[in-house]
Amino acid sequence: MVGSQVTRTSQIIDVASKDGRSGKLVFVRIRHELEDCEGPLISEEQDVVYREAADEPFTPATSPAPVETTWSRTIVPDPVLLFRYSADTFNGHRIHYDRAYATSKEGYPALVVHGPLTATLLVDLVTRSAPDEDVASFSFKAVNPLFDNAPFQVCAARLPDTDEVRLWAVNEAGVLCVEATAKLRASVIAL
């Protein structure tokens, strides 16, 4: 409810080190739980990836994205959108708003679009496209970064005769960048 007091509890669930295409990576799994006076509201698990400083320019993976869509929308990212999302989510990582840092220190070709921003845009695509249904569950995985120097597409394919939707984000070259799934349910209208 608007105006109710909500408590958020965050806990580190796991920490793992791996070697990836871009060097050494550390994966941190965090669980966030929100509750109000009536009990649990939302439980979210988040994987945060930290990588060592780049020795050479970023090279993306080239997995092709699906082509059959039920709904899609073109997103034109810009520095203002990324800065605002960083501010709204208290994300101080400079790859999202400091172009010189992102390109010279991290080796990216431009500012990096936040994975959670892309996830938010995917959920928004579903809620705009299926206004009589609510998102009951949602999970996503970022598999390639998106950048602010080119438009990208958020897409969805409704699986026939189910409550499931397959979602993804694809860059201008047709490369899969984010993959996600959602389950929908009929909207419940409170009177």
Average pLDDT, the chain: 89
What pLDDT does residue 24 have? 85
**Non-local CB neighbours of 51 within 8 Å, separated by 6+ positions:** 20, 22, 23, 24, 25, 26
**Residue spans in the chain of domains classed CATH 3.10.129.10:** 60-186
pLDDT tens across 98-132, in order? 999 999 988 899 999 999 999 999 999 999 999 99
pLDDT tens across 51-89, in order? 777 666 666 677 778 778 899 999 999 999 999 999 998
What pLDDT does residue 2 have? 81
CA distance 32 to 10: 4
Q: Which amino acid does the sequence have at 119?
A: A
Residue 20 confidence class, pLDDT cut points 50, 70, 90: confident
What pLDDT does residue 177 have? 94
CA angle (182, 185, 187) in 5-degree steps: 125
What pLDDT does residue 3 have? 85
Q: Which amino acid does the sequence have at 168?
A: W
User: Bigger pLDDT: 190 or 138?
Assistant: 138
CATH of 60-186, one of 3.40.50.150, 3.40.50.1100, 2.60.120.920, 3.10.129.10: 3.10.129.10
Q: What is the rounded end-to-end Cα distance, in angstroms, of the chain?
A: 13
Give me the mean pLDDT over the 141-167 stretch.
Answer: 94
